[in-house]
Amino acid sequence: MANEEFVNVYFFGKRYSVPANLTIMTGLEYAGYQLVRGCGCRNGFCGACATIYRIKGDAELHMALACQTKVEDNMYVATLPFFPLQKKVYDINQVEPTQQIMMQLYPEIYSCIGCNACTKACPQGLNVMQYIAYAQRGDFKKCADESFDCVMCGICSSRCPAGISHSQVAELARRINGKYLTPDAEHLKQRVKEIYDGNFKAAMEDYMSKSDAEIREMYNTREIEK
């Protein structure tokens, strides 16, 4: 539209004029870039559109997710679609739910200097340093709860002077909590058994035979449990 407001945004050092109502993600696409690899809303995983930006004339470095942050005039943007985290290999069935497993797999968490840069950088607003403290003490349930909304973008780790892979530590805590500490959900176990027994095979075949329009109509008119 002729009266649409535009702003100047710098993607990877090059200036583009994009509509002011776009997110960084859609602004990148408007400028001709495609963040296909990894991004959750682009058929990948959530958290892969990690972004670092500054506003011209402002010394502060901002951390964000490109999908949920609007463009601003004179914004200088660089994406961080992948950050090299430490991801240790382990068999969750052989893991002991004790503090020692963190010492064994992620000993760097005990080098935390308490700078809180991880928390300040988190685009989800998580108290990252706190859940690392829970992991240090072997309190996996609290670590899992505190880190529940982590999308594993890696921004916290990119700011950590101790080299901690925060999201991987949190993932291990959530796995331990889910397998060993959370009480079994008997109704869920029963439903899984019913699925394996083929109780829903006919219903699934019926759903698979429907068109996209029919599926959308079913979704929009579904009865939602209270």
Q: How confident is the model at residue 43, as a pLDDT?
A: 59
What is the SS3 assignment for 39? strand
Q: In angstroms, rounded to a whole number, what is the distance separating the alpha carbons of residues 145 and 63?
A: 23
Using the predicted structure, report yes or no on whether residue 41 has a pLDDT greater than 90.
no
Q: Which two tokens stand for residue 45?
A: 């995983």
Helix (H) or strand (E) holding 76: strand 75-79
Question: Can you tell me the mean pLDDT for 114-124?
Answer: 95
Owner of token pair 């006919």:
202
Banded model confidence at residue 44, pLDDT cuts 50, 70, 90? low
Q: In angstroms, rounded to a whole number, what is the distance separating the alpha carbons of residues 125 and 187?
A: 33
Q: How confident is the model at residue 14, as a pLDDT?
A: 95
Q: In angstroms, rounded to a whole number, what is the distance separating the alpha carbons of residues 59 and 49?
A: 23
Cβ–Cβ < 8 Å for 94, 28? no
Banded model confidence at residue 121, pLDDT cuts 50, 70, 90? very high
Q: In angstroms, rounded to a whole number, what is the distance separating the alpha carbons of residues 31 and 79?
A: 14
pTM of the model: 0.77
What is the SS3 assignment for 10? strand
Residues of the chain with CATH 3.10.20.740: 6-79
Q: How confident is the model at residue 106, as a pLDDT?
A: 97
Question: Can you tell me the mean pLDDT for 127-155?
Answer: 96
Share of the chain above pLDDT 70, in %: 93
Q: Which two tokens stand for residue 32?
A: 């001709």
Return mean pLDDT, the chain.
91
**Chain mean position to CA 88:** 19
Using the predicted structure, report yes or no on whether residue 45 has a pLDDT greater than 70.
no
Helix (H) or strand (E) holding 51: strand 50-55
Banded model confidence at residue 56, pLDDT cuts 50, 70, 90? very high
Determine how many CB atoms are found less than 10 A away from the CB of residue 59.
Answer: 6
Which amino acid belongs to residue 212?
A: D
Q: Which CATH number fits domain 6-79: 3.10.20.740, 3.40.50.300, 2.60.40.10, 3.30.470.20?
A: 3.10.20.740
> Which among 19, 48, 53 has a CA at the least distance from the CA of 36?
48
Range in 27-36, 42-51, 56-65, 185-194 the model is least confident about:
42-51
Q: How confident is the model at residue 82, as a pLDDT?
A: 78
Banded model confidence at residue 129, pLDDT cuts 50, 70, 90? very high
> Which among 153, 161, 157 has a CA at the least distance from the CA of 80?
153
